[in-house]
Structure 1
Amino acid sequence: MNKNRIGILFLVLAFLIITTSCNVVTDTIPSEDYENLLKIHFIDVGQGDSTLIQLPNGEVSLIDGGPGSAQDKVVKYIEVLGIEEIDHLIVTHPHEDHIGGLPQIVENFKIKKVYMPNKTANTVVFEELLLAIKKQNLNIDIVKAGDYLIDEEQLKFYFLAPNRDDYDATNDFSIVSKIDFFDNSLIVAGDAEKNSEMDMIDSGLDLKADLLRVGHHGGRTSTNDDFLEKVNPKYSIISVGRENAYGHPHRETLERLNKIGTKILRTDRLGDIVFISDGQRWVYETEIARKENAVAIMYIGNKNTKVLHSIECNSLPIEENRIFFTSIVEAENMGYRPHKNCIK
């Protein structure tokens, strides 16, 4: 990794550490095999789930799209990041709070591959998703535990569940994803409940992870003691709606999480939650932190030319080509170069 790249990495991490006062410190930088960072976006979709993953090899994954009520939010969130193509669209299971926003995603972005469990639903929203997939001439890959999307020495993306095709509960068919990036790892648990969690334990797959996107919005039938003991996460993220009718997250689940000393982060309290890893450490930022620590100067990038402008520039790009940054370092980290006239 060249000196400029290392400098940019440290600046990005320092910026996030300052704004969030949260970091896991290590002494080394990953090898030069991966110059980019792993970025995990737990999007606040209310009572539902949507996790956007920007992989260090340049690929993009979206796990679920939240309910239909959040479809515009998810589309806009992805557009603001300048993303036009999604390499892996993972549909954990066919419940509306996970797939309601996906037809819009399929219509608005170029999707390379779609992954689902071997479970269907006789619902209007599931039929709408299948129709949107068919209109784009996309095939659906049925996945199971042990399947890999990426299997490289320092970057692995694979599935821990489902392990069977005969569960009684739809939630237990949930695709559970794991990413290992150098020394860092995370699990996104869908709505997997106890039966699926026990099967994951029995499978012998490595369940240890720094980050756990808690199953089923913190419901009491998920995130059981035996599963938590295997995962032992430093951070537990709960995607949940404010004052939801289900009482999520349940008191019993919160007690189990608190018992292992994990840091609990909830979208109903913090909004969008973004984690960044260089392979050795995690730093995170929340929507609340961004609002409280918002900097005065904003920058606008041109998604076509990759040129960065100040907000006062007379040569700003048209609205649909704009992407917004809070710092020059953030923009340069995504490949943007300063405009020679407005940024000295």
Structure 2
Amino acid sequence: MRKAMRKANRHYNRPGIIQPVLTLFLVLLLVFLAGCQLAGSGGKSATTAGVMEQGARPDRLLVHVLDVGQADSILVQLPGGQNMLIDAGNNDDGPFVVDYLRRAGVQSIDYLIGTHPHEDHIGGLDTVLKKFPVKHIYMPEIAYDTKSYHDVLRTVQQCGLTVTNPAAGQVLLREKAGNQELKVEILWPDARKVLFYDEVNDHSIVTRVSYGRNSFLFTGDAGRQVEKELMDSKAPLKADVLKVAHHGSNSATSNAFLRAVQPAIAVICVGQGNDYGHPHRETMQRLIKNKIRVYRTDQDGTIVFTSDGKTIDVQTEKHN
């Protein structure tokens, strides 16, 4: 064994070979120090039996709305094993989100979306990036100067990733899952219009996921003006489940928008006894008036929707 090791050492010290080896070593060291996971280096793929044992199935769409208090984090497990994470809560929520993803069988993230740079949406993204291989990361293009946002951008760079700025009408995924169509598409922001918006919330990425006859609409913190833009653009808004924007604030979820989406279910990410009074009474009244069943993370805990492309089952942490 010692002779073989000495022979190997002589080989790597030959002129013309040592430099590439040292370069590779330095790159790997930087990745290690940054704590990042390399895409494709997570051992078994996300479609292996380990995922299936956690409940994910190739013919099911699972949407986990995590209870991260007054913040947002949503895991979407797509039929066939791909994973999408929309937001990761506040800075302190990062470890909880990582632990939840692991318990859900997630080994890599195909689509990581930071809807907008407010800390209650992107605060935990840097922690997630350090623990899971990520293939694609999407965030809106906006100048925003906070430590949380800079931490995320710095970690993205350390992990050797590039942020993609989403565009309205962009289709992230479209394929057959079993005998049903699966589609993931971006509805907002529209680069031609969003430049005129000063409110950071209105830069939120709005995503729609459809599987067979079922669909989900994820709105970040987008306000009423964005809702109007979406309706005017004739975007495909109809959805069975609506993630209510901005934690149920009265700044969004207009009657006109609810008529366009026609959800049977609304889910609100909100912290118990929060200082903002979310969800606002006016928003709740509109949801009740439109006969929409409401789930709330402050009351129901983490909520999991399961779709077979025809029907949607709901499980809640606190009431099941």
Q: Distance in 2 between matches of 1:35 and 1:170?
A: 37
Q: Which runs of 5+ in 2 are unaligned?
A: 1-54
- 1:287-329 CA distances to partner (integer Å, 9 max, x unpaired)? 0134xxxxxxxxxxxxxxxxxxxxxxxxxxxxxxxxxxxxxxx
Q: Answer yes or no: is 1:184 the counterpart of 2:223.
A: no
Aligned to 2:79: 56
* Conserved 8 A contact 1:118-1:165: no
Q: Which runs of 5+ in 1 are unaligned?
A: 1-11, 13-33, 291-344
Aligned to 1:207: 237
Aligned to 1:113: 136
* Conserved 8 A contact 2:264-2:293: yes
* Conserved 8 A contact 2:215-2:241: yes
| Equivalent residue for 1:165, pick from 170, 184, 194 | 194
Q: What's the TM-score, normalizing by structure 2?
A: 0.79
- 1:177-326 equivalences under 5 Å are 177-290=207-320
- 1:125-140 equivalences under 5 Å are 125-140=148-163
SS of equivalent to 1:98? helix
**How far apart are residue 99 of structure 1 and its match?**
0.6
Q: Answer yes or no: is 1:66 the counterpart of 2:89.
A: yes
Q: Distance in 2 between matches of 1:94 and 1:120?
A: 9
| Counterpart residue type for residue 123 of structure 1 | T
SS of equivalent to 1:289? coil
SS of equivalent to 2:250? coil
* Conserved 8 A contact 2:58-2:81: no
Q: Distance in 2 between matches of 1:240 and 1:69?
A: 16
Q: Distance in 2 between matches of 1:58 and 1:267?
A: 25
**How far apart are residue 120 of structure 1 and its match?**
3.1
* Conserved 8 A contact 1:161-1:174: yes
| Counterpart residue type for residue 133 of structure 2 | K
Give % identity: 42
Q: Distance in 2 between matches of 1:151 and 1:278?
A: 17
| Equivalent residue for 2:173, pick from 150, 157, 160 | 150
Aligned to 1:42: 65
Query: Alpha carbon RMSD of aligned pairs, Å?
Result: 1.4
Q: Distance in 1 between matches of 2:236 and 2:107?
A: 33
| Counterpart residue type for residue 203 of structure 1 | S
| Equivalent residue for 1:123, pick from 146, 158, 179 | 146
Q: What's the TM-score, normalizing by structure 1?
A: 0.73
**How far apart are residue 240 of structure 1 and its match?**
0.3
**How far apart are residue 35 of structure 1 and its match?**
4.2
Q: Distance in 2 between matches of 1:127 and 1:223?
A: 30
- 1:170-229 CA distances to partner (integer Å, 9 max, x unpaired)? 101000000110100000110000111100001111110000010000000111111111
Q: Distance in 1 between matches of 2:286 and 2:194?
A: 28
Q: Distance in 1 between matches of 2:224 and 2:139?
A: 20
| Equivalent residue for 1:95, pick from 105, 118, 121 | 118
